[in-house]
Amino acid sequence: MTAEVVDVVVIGLGPGGESIAAQLAKAGLSVVGVDARLVGGECPYYACIPTKMMIRAADALAEAHRASELAGSVQIKPDWAPVAARVRDDATANWDDQAAVDRLLASGARFERGWGKITDAGEVTVSTSDGDKVFRVNRGIVLNPGTDPAVPPIEGLADTPLWTNREAVATETVPSSMIVLGGGPVGCEFAQIFSRFGADVTLVQSGPRLLPNDEPESSELLRKVFERDGIRVVTGARATKVEYDGTNFHVQVGDETHTAEQLLVATGRTTDLSALGVKAAGIPDDGKTINVDERMRAADKVWAIGDVAGKGAFTHMSMYEADIAAADILGKDGPVAQYHAVPHATFTDPEVASVGLTQAEAEAQGVNVRVGLTNLPDSSRGYIHKLGNDGLIKLVEDADRGVLVGASAVGPGAGEILGALLVAVHAEVPTSTLKGMILAYPTFHRAIGAALAEL
């Protein structure tokens, strides 16, 4: 088959892939963007945006319950229909990517819907509904395949009508009861959403605590809130067997069997590197991620960005890495990737947000750690806020250098509070300078001052 010569092929159009394809096309390169499913990837159709719309609705219900105590009687009748409609109509246009395809074409890039595979050094074959198309690249190949939900090898599980994030986002109804496997950000967010809409939820986490990538104090606080709100939290126990009887799931966890109408699996993500043909470019295909250097180079004329690069599975990471790789492909002397101040947020209520290293990570790196911690209910704003004021600020300082290397915020709008801490960790602002800041009264972020005073 004759190959068509182009400058760049981008395989996978997640947030980063879409961004880099458009950037390179606008810079004048001939670019082919390839996606087998929806342009934009997981984030707009099955992840960040629809789940945060669901959370917005669930939070509104929680605030209505609080209003009853703070502001007089409120009648609350939860209804999933407006949530499902908003996800279907506003967020995803009924899982139609035409707007994103049009945006990509308007940038000057070409789009091929199909499965892209590296079939030789500098060569990509795309399997489309019109047959295979072969491209040879002048400049390079960008890999942005993202991840698919991983279903663990639990006896009986594979044959059941389980949900992953994709079915959960698309649901038109709320099950009466639900078992959530996985206590990471995805499992925690869904557990709270469906619980607030009336499902009786059991959250099973094989590790010792929820949100294992966050500080133990954050995990502890979230568990306390979940249990207070009626979510059953089971930690340190693995699901070993699943049965579905046509109506209910029965999940064996340790000595107990949990039964629920729906099972949601949120136990991690996976990428099939061999299906991507990376070996043809000299990249090992037996792992889950692709090793990249500080300019996102994975091999000669191959760049990898986003979840598959393994530096953090976040939309902001995919977009950040797209910028780094785009500059390199265009031969610009752009900045290299830095990962000392990577932020992330879990949008539970309270939100759990952090940046940089946890205390344990800093200690493991041999940092002379000093920690400052304060609880939000002890702050003026926490006292005023009253219901829903659960939260904390934790700072991790490198005492030798006098700078923060990590920080966490838990609480209402903690992802926003994190903004100030992100600047401090990213720019390595001296702690002495931070201590001299005037923090507006009575804000939640003013609690940063109390945490600084504990250092």
Ligand X SMILES: Cc1cc2nc3c(=O)[nH]c(=O)nc-3n(C[C@H](O)[C@H](O)[C@H](O)COP(=O)(O)OP(=O)(O)OC[C@H]3O[C@@H](n4cnc5c(N)ncnc54)[C@H](O)[C@@H]3O)c2cc1C
Q: Which residues bind ligand X (CB under 6 A)?
A: 11-16, 34-38, 41-43, 47-48, 51-52, 115-116, 144-147, 165, 186, 276, 306-308, 313-316, 318
With a CB cutoff of 8 Å and minimum separation 6, the contacts of 126 are 32, 34, 112, 114, 115, 116, 117, 132, 133, 134, 135
Question: Do residues 326 and 166 touch, judged by C-beta distance below 8 A?
Answer: no
Both tokens assigned to 424 = 């401090």
Instruction: Tell me whether residue 185 or residue 411 sits nearer to ligand X (CB atom).
Output: 185
Q: How far is the CB of 53 from ligand X (least distance, A)?
A: 11
- Per-position b or e across 307-319, b if 16+ CB within 10 A of its CB: bbbbbbbbbebbb
Q: Closest residue to ligand X, Cβ-based?
A: 146
Instruction: Tell me whether residue 35 or residue 123 sits nearer to ligand X (CB atom).
Output: 35
Instruction: Tell me whether residue 119 or residue 259 sits nearer to ligand X (CB atom).
Output: 119
Instruction: Tell me whether residue 23 or residue 147 sits nearer to ligand X (CB atom).
Output: 147
Nearest-angstrom CA–CA distance, 365 and 401 = 14
Instruction: Tell me whether residue 264 or residue 448 sits nearer to ligand X (CB atom).
Output: 264
Q: How far is the CB of 117 from ligand X (least distance, A)?
A: 6
Instruction: Tell me whether residue 165 or residue 252 sits nearer to ligand X (CB atom).
Output: 165
Both tokens assigned to 314 = 């976040």
Instruction: Tell me whether residue 108 or residue 268 sits nearer to ligand X (CB atom).
Output: 268
Q: How far is the CB of 391 from ligand X (least distance, A)?
A: 19
Question: Do residues 112 and 12 touch, judged by C-beta distance below 8 A?
Answer: no
Q: How far is the CB of 381 from ligand X (least distance, A)?
A: 25
Q: How far is the CB of 395 from ligand X (least distance, A)?
A: 23
Q: How far is the CB of 296 from ligand X (least distance, A)?
A: 12
Strand partners of residue 234:
204
C-alpha closest to that of 404 among 448, 445, 353, 346: 448
Nearest-angstrom CA–CA distance, 116 and 125 = 6
Residue with tokens 């945060």, as numbered in its chain: 52
Measured at the CA of 54, the angle between CA 52 and CA 55, to 5 degrees, comes to 60
H helices of 330-377, in order, are 359-364
Q: How far is the CB of 54 from ligand X (least distance, A)?
A: 10
Instruction: Tell me whether residue 47 or residue 326 sits nearer to ligand X (CB atom).
Output: 47
Residue 117 CA, distance from chain mean position: 26
